[in-house]
Amino acid sequence: GQQLNQSPQSMFIQEGEDVSMNCTSSSIFNTWLWYKQEPGEGPVLLIALYKAGELTSNGRLTAQFGITRKDSFLNISASIPSDVGIYFCAGQLTGNQFYFGTGTSLTVIP
């Protein structure tokens, strides 16, 4: 199936630093979702975006739905060790068509 281009592939940062990752696609999406997955567990929904240009926050996390509807970014401010994990974006075309990014592996160094 189709996959979204997600970058960076991995990040190693110091605790307290801000993090930014993004997803791009050649397709126009109706919904963008951001997930975090920890080892051995299923992805957990962080933020859902429904409108082009929408900017939504969830604690230290902020995500935006790109104006062109072909991209989205996720920012994490003041990272902490428990932010470690793999972050995935997912775009929804129509009702049952979801496509996933390749993931960004985040390591936070205390």
Partner 1 sequence: GAVVSQHPSRVICKSGTSVKIECRSLDFQATTMFWYRQFPKKSLMLMATSNEGSKATYEQGVEKDKFLINHASLTLSTLTVTSAHPEDSSFYICSARPLAGGPYGELFFGEGSRLTVL
The residues, ordered by sequence, that sit 6+ positions from 97 with a Cβ below 8 Å of its Cβ are: none
- Pattern 72-91, binding to partner 1, x per CB under 8 A? --------------x-x-x-
85 in Cβ contact with 35 (< 8 Å)? no
- CB 16, min distance to partner 1, A: 26
- Interface residue with partner 1, options 26, 59, 94, 110 (CB under 8 A): 94
**Of 94, 104, 88, which Cα lies nearest the Cα of 19?**
104
Provide the β-strand partners of residue 75.
20, 62
Report how far residue 89's alpha carbon sits from residue 36's, in angstroms, rounded to the nearest whole number: 9
Of positions 1, 14, 26, 82, contacts partner 1 by CB under 8 A: 1
- What would the x/- binding string for partner 1 be over residues 32 to 71, using CB under 8 A? -x-x----xxxxxx--x-x---------------------
Q: How many CB atoms lie within 10 A of CB 51?
A: 12
| Residues in touch with partner 1 (CB under 8 A) | 1, 3, 30-31, 33, 35, 40-45, 48, 50, 86, 88, 90, 92, 94-96, 98, 100-103, 105
